C-alpha cells in the first residue's frame, strides 16, 4: 500500500496496451491516455495487485483469469499495460548513484574498500527453447545446461540496485556482457568495482577492480583481503536471490509476444529497492 501511494498519482498517465497496439496498427501517435476508454473490469489497484501476483507468485494467466473472474486476454492486457507503465515510471528515476551519494551511505564494513562504487554479478533466467537451431546455440548456457537469458546486475555497497543491463543470450560471457552493458562508461578512475573471480574485466574498464585471485599461495594480508572481498561480494548475490524470489523467474519463462520480458525483469529489480533491508551485517564469530 505504501508503494501504491507513490504511484497512484501517475495512474492517469497510463496508456493501455490494447490502445497502444491499436494505434500502432493505424499509425496513430499516442501521446496521452484516451479520455474515454472501454469500461475497466478491475479497479487500478486491483490490476496492480494482479500484476504483483503474476510476478511474485508466478501464476499462469489462465489461473489469474479464473481467480479475478475476467477473460484470459484481459489478464494478458493488464500484465502488458502494467509492465510497460512500471518500467517507464520506475525507469524515469535515475538509480545510478554518484560517487558522493555512495560515499554518504558507505557501510563501515567497506572501510578497506572505500572507493567501491558498485558490486556486480551476472544472473541467468531459464527460458523456452527456441525452435531455431541457431538461436538454441546462442541461448544455450553450459552453466545451467539449458537455454537462458543473462543479465548483469549491480548494487551499491549499502544494498540498492543501481544498475540493470538488458537480457542477453545465455551463451555470452561475463566479460562480453560487461562490455556490451554500457556500465564501463559510468565508471571513472577514482571508482572501484567489486566482482567475483570469474569476472576478468581488468583490461576493459578504467577503474580499479576488486576481484578474488585464482592463485592459492598468498601472503597473510592478501588472504585477509581476499576473504573480505569474497564476503562483501556476496551481497549482490543476496540481492539477486531476493529478485528471483519472484516465482515468475523460478521456472522456464515462456517467450510471450504480449509483454516484454526485458521490462519485467527490470521492474522486478527496481521493485526490490522498495523492499530493501540491511544486507551488510556484522560477521558472527
> Tell me: the pLDDT tens digits for 108-131?
888 889 999 999 999 999 998 988
Average pLDDT of the segment spanning 154-181:
94
Spatial neighbors of 95 by CB under 8 A, at least 6 apart, are 160, 161, 162, 163, 164, 270, 273
DSSP H or E stretch at residue 116 = strand 116-126
- What are the two backbone dihedrals, phi and then psi, of residue 255, each rounded to the nearest 5 degrees? -75, 100
**Residue range 14-68, pLDDT digits in tens:** 888 765 554 455 555 555 554 444 456 899 999 999 999 999 999 999 999 999 9
Q: Identify which of 17, 13, 11 has the alpha carbon closest to the alpha carbon of residue 258.
A: 17
Which of the pair, 231 or 214, is modelled with greater confidence? 231
Rounded CA gap, 226 and 216, in Å?
11
Q: What is the pLDDT of residue 284?
A: 35
**Residue range 184-193, pLDDT digits in tens:** 999 999 999 9
Q: Identify which of 122, 144, 148 has the alpha carbon closest to the alpha carbon of residue 136.
A: 148
Which of the pair, 180 or 226, is modelled with greater confidence? 180
Average pLDDT of the segment spanning 159-180:
94
Rounded CA gap, 41 and 52, in Å?
17
Q: How far is CA 136 from CA 141, 152, 208, 245, 270, in A?
A: 10, 21, 36, 26, 29
Amino acid at each position: 500500500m505504501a508503494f501504491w501511494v507513490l504511484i497512484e498519482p501517475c495512474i492517469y498517465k497510463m496508456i493501455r496496451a490494447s490502445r497502444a497496439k491499436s494505434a500502432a496498427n493505424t499509425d496513430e501517435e499516442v501521446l496521452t491516455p484516451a479520455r474515454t476508454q472501454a469500461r475497466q473490469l478491475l479497479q487500478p489497484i486491483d490490476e496492480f495487485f494482479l500484476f504483483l501476483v503474476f510476478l511474485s507468485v508466478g501464476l499462469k494467466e489462465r489461473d489469474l483469469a479464473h481467480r479475478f473472474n475476467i477473460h484470459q486476454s484481459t489478464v494478458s492486457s493488464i500484465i502488458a499495460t502494467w509492465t510497460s507503465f512500471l518500467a517507464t515510471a520506475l525507469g524515469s528515476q535515475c538509480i545510478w548513484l554518484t560517487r558522493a551519494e555512495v560515499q554518504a551511505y558507505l557501510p563501515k564494513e567497506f572501510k578497506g574498500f572505500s572507493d567501491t562504487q558498485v558490486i556486480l554479478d551476472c544472473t541467468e533466467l531459464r527460458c523456452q527453447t527456441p525452435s531455431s537451431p541457431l538461436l538454441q546455440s546462442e541461448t544455450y548456457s553450459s552453466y545451467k545446461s539449458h537455454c537462458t537469458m543473462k543479465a548483469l546486475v549491480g548494487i551499491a555497497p549499502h544494498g540498492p540496485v543501481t544498475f540493470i543491463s538488458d537480457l542477453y543470450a545465455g551463451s555470452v560471457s561475463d566479460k562480453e556482457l560487461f562490455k556490451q552493458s554500457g556500465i564501463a562508461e559510468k565508471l571513472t578512475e577514482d571508482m572501484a568495482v567489486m566482482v567475483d573471480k570469474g569476472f576478468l574485466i581488468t583490461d576493459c574498464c578504467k577503474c580499479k577492480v576488486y576481484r578474488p585471485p585464482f592463485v592459492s599461495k598468498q601472503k597473510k594480508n592478501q588472504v585477509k583481503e581476499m576473504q573480505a572481498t569474497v564476503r562483501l561480494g556476496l551481497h549482490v548475490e543476496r540481492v539477486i536471490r531476493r529478485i528471483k524470489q519472484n516465482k515468475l523467474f523460478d521456472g522456464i519463462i515462456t517467450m510471450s509476444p504480449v509483454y516484454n520480458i526485458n521490462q519485467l525483469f527490470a521492474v522486478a529489480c527496481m521493485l526490490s529497492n522498495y523492499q530493501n533491508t540491511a544486507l551488510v551485517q556484522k560477521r558472527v564469530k
